[in-house]
A and B are shown apart, each in its own frame.
Chain A
Amino acid sequence: MAEQTEFEKARKKRNTVIALALVGFMLLVFLITLAKMGMN
């Protein structure tokens, strides 16, 4: 049971990091688009 909780905690943490990374990636794509538009 304790192992299962620890496993779920680790999975939740991993999912949060993946979600944050995806948000960061989207933000970066947005900023690159703005920069490219500024260059043009």
Chain B
Amino acid sequence: MTDLTVSQSTRAATAGDYFALMKPRVMSLVVFTGLAGLLCAPAQVDGVIGFAILLAIAAGAGGSGALNMWYDSDIDAKMKRTASRPVAAGRILREEALALGLTMSVLSVLLMLLAGGVMAALLLAFTIWFYAVVYTMMLKRSTPENIVVGGLAGALPPAVAWAAVTGSLSVAPLLLVLIIFLWTPPHFWALALYQRADYAAAGVPMLPVTHGLRETRRRILAYSVLLAPAAIAPAFVGIGGVVYAAISSLGAIAFVALAWRVWRSRAGEEGASGPLYSVGQGDRTARDLFAFSILYLAALFAALIAEQGLGLYRAI
């Protein structure tokens, strides 16, 4: 019986399922932000070493993503947004996800130890532990502050890359961490406003479920206002130049304006229905902020990469 179950579950798994197990979108985000940390660090890095550092960050993210899907397969199966994930859908066994997650996590830290040194390896190990244990196992199901605190794990890759290149940390990489840390709550709460039924069905205590829509809209605005100066700050510590200053400033104004619009709206009050990511008329302000938040973070780090990697940097 067990063998038959194994056969049926494993048979349907494709290479794409194993790839999806590693959360490729999260992986691409951390590689992107890690690359910015790598290029902004005040030291030259060999091409092979740089590649290995980014690969270790990607593998660490992939490993912790697999551990997340292993642990959360029960609630993933209850939400429209995550029901098709390979473990939740039964295409990959939980044990397999656990084994892959642990193996990739250990290998990523070893690779980082070799390529980036002790401090970067410890930081990467902390990041993986924070995401898989603190966020996934301890916070996600127990507090509406889950994504606020848990956001630290997604924010650390630029500091990991910086530490791998320089062997130390300073204000500049910590500012990059702060940007992602403050960006995470308005990004996820904007989504949660119009997908709250999904979270409620799975018993995940997201802010709109526990504290209501008005409080969520208020906190989205508060975090957006806090994000604005943090996002502009790299232009004043020598890692962001004129291009970065322009993009971060204009983007911050737009971000706060969109968050203000969410606060003034009745976003989330219609209740989600219909297909995944369907957005009611009243929820469009939240959807707009969610979409713009992705664009804004990408633009900030793309500006840093362009300035530091392509030699476009001009101090303000």
- Give A residues with C-beta under 8 Å from B: 3-4, 6-7, 10-11, 13-14, 17, 25, 28-29, 31-36, 38-39
A to B CB contacts below 8 Å, 16 in the list:
A3-B7, A7-B11, A10-B11, A13-B15, A14-B18, A25-B107, A28-B48, A28-B111, A29-B114, A31-B48, A32-B49, A33-B114, A35-B46, A36-B49, A38-B46, A39-B46
Contacts of A4 in B (CB 8 A): 7
Which residue of the partner chain A has the closest CB to B51?
A28
Which residue of the partner chain B has the closest CB to A39?
B46
Question: What is the minimal beta-carbon distance from A3 to any residue of chain B, in angstroms?
Answer: 6
B11, B15, B18: the one contacting A6 at CB < 8 Å is B11
Q: Beta-carbon contacts of B1-31 to A below 8 Å, as 1s and 0s?
A: 0000001101101010010000000000000
Q: Which applies to chain A's interface (DSSP): helix, strand, loop or mixed?
A: helix
A32 to B112, CA, bound (A): 11
Say if the beta carbon of B115 comes within 8 Å of chain A. Answer: yes
Instruction: Assess A25 versus B111: contact at CB under 8 Å? Given A32-B48, A32-B49.
Output: yes
Instruction: Assess A35 versus B49: contact at CB under 8 Å? Given A25-B107, A28-B55.
Output: yes
- Give B residues with C-beta under 8 Å from A: 7-8, 10-11, 13, 15, 18, 46, 48-49, 52, 55, 107, 111, 114-115
The answer to whether B48 and A35 touch across the interface, beta carbons within 8 angstroms, is: yes
Question: What is the minimal beta-carbon distance from A2 to any residue of chain B, in angstroms?
Answer: 10
A35 to B50, CA, bound (A): 11
The answer to whether B55 and A3 touch across the interface, beta carbons within 8 angstroms, is: no
Which residue of the partner chain B has the closest CB to A33?
B114
Which residue of the partner chain A has the closest CB to B115?
A32
Contacts of B46 in A (CB 8 A): 35, 38-39
Contacts of B13 in A (CB 8 A): 10
A39 to B47, CA, bound (A): 12
The answer to whether B114 and A17 touch across the interface, beta carbons within 8 angstroms, is: no
Contacts of B15 in A (CB 8 A): 13, 17
Instruction: Give the most central of A13, A33, A35: most B CB within 10 Å.
Output: A35
Question: What is the minimal beta-carbon distance from B47 to any residue of chain A, in angstroms?
Answer: 8
What 8 additional pairs, Cβ within 8 angstroms, besides A10-B11, A28-B48, A32-B48?
A3-B7, A25-B107, A28-B52, A32-B49, A33-B114, A35-B48, A36-B49, A39-B46
Contacts of B52 in A (CB 8 A): 28, 31-32
Question: What is the minimal beta-carbon distance from B72 to any residue of chain A, in angstroms?
Answer: 23
A36 to B114, CA, bound (A): 9
Contacts of A7 in B (CB 8 A): 7, 10-11
A11 to B107, CA, bound (A): 22
Which residue of the partner chain A has the closest CB to B12?
A10
Contacts of A34 in B (CB 8 A): 48
A21 to B158, CA, bound (A): 26
A39 to B45, CA, bound (A): 10
